């Protein structure tokens, strides 16, 4: 492979099946726990990527969210992939909406590309391709350096590094 560029893709994808498993485990735990009895607590999918939490108080709604987050972490899903709002009153219950973020937004992609440009090794290129980035370089060591650099940054998005070649 002399002269050819090496590359990898930066993506932000969540295994929907794992999220579904976490949600089902959270729902089961909520139905069995004494502190959730008679508070109307529930968690369910709402649409393709949305999660709706309901309870009769703001605190209980947040407690349901905590249980869900715990289950996500146990399944290896970064909480950066979960976008949660604040509980809002709706009649006699409180609803808390969350969504699962897939892909890298244009703003985040630009931030990541800028970090690579400003702090990464010379000769490394990052191209935004839809909701992901392709990073390429003549030197494989430089690609490893970029991955380490990004892992050390506190970005608002859960990143995975794939298609390394």
Domain 16-100 has CATH 3.30.70.990: yes
> What is the 3 state secondary structure string of the chain?
CCCCCEEEEEECCCCHHHHHHHHHHHHHHHHHCHHHCCCCCEEEEECCCEEEEEECCHHHHHHHHHHHHHHHHHCCCCHHHEEECCCEEECCEEEEEEEECCCCCHHHHHHHHHHHHHHCCCCCEEEEECCEEEEEECCHHHHHHHHHHHHCCCCCCCCEEECCC
- The CATH architecture assigned to 6-13+104-162 reads 2-Layer Sandwich (3.30)
- pLDDT, tens only, 130-141: 999 999 999 999
Q: How many other CB atoms are there within 10 angstroms of residue 19's CB atom?
A: 21
CB 77 within 8 A of CB 15: yes
Mean pLDDT of 98-109: 95
Where in the chain do CATH 3.30.70.990 domains reside?
A: 16-100
* pLDDT at 79 exceeding the cut of 90: yes
DSSP lists the bridge partners of residue 135 as 8, 126
What is the reported pLDDT for 48?
87
What is the reported pLDDT for 2?
45
Which position has the token pair 């109307």? 40
Which pLDDT band, with edges at 50, 70 and 90, does 3 fall under?
low
Where in the chain do CATH 3.30.70.860 domains reside?
A: 6-13+104-162
């Amino acid at each position: 492979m002399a002269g050819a560029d090496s590359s990898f893709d930066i993506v932000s994808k969540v295994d929907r099946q794992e999220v579904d498993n976490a949600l089902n485990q959270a729902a089961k735990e909520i139905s069995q726990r004494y502190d959730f009895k008679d508070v109307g607590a529930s968690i369910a999918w709402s649409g393709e990527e949305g999660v709706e939490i309901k309870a009769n108080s703001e605190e209980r709604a947040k407690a349901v969210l905590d249980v869900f987050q715990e289950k996500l972490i146990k399944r290896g899903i970064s909480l950066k992939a979960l976008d949660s709002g604040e509980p809002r009153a709706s009649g006699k219950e409180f609803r808390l909406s969350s969504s699962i973020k897939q892909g890298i937004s244009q703003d985040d992609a630009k931030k990541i590309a800028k970090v690579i440009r400003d702090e990464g090794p010379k000769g490394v290129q990052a191209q935004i391709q839809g909701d992901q980035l392709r990073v390429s370089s003549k030197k494989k060591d430089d690609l490893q350096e970029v991955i380490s650099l990004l892992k050390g940054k506190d970005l608002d998005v859960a990143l995975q590094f794939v298609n390394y070649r």
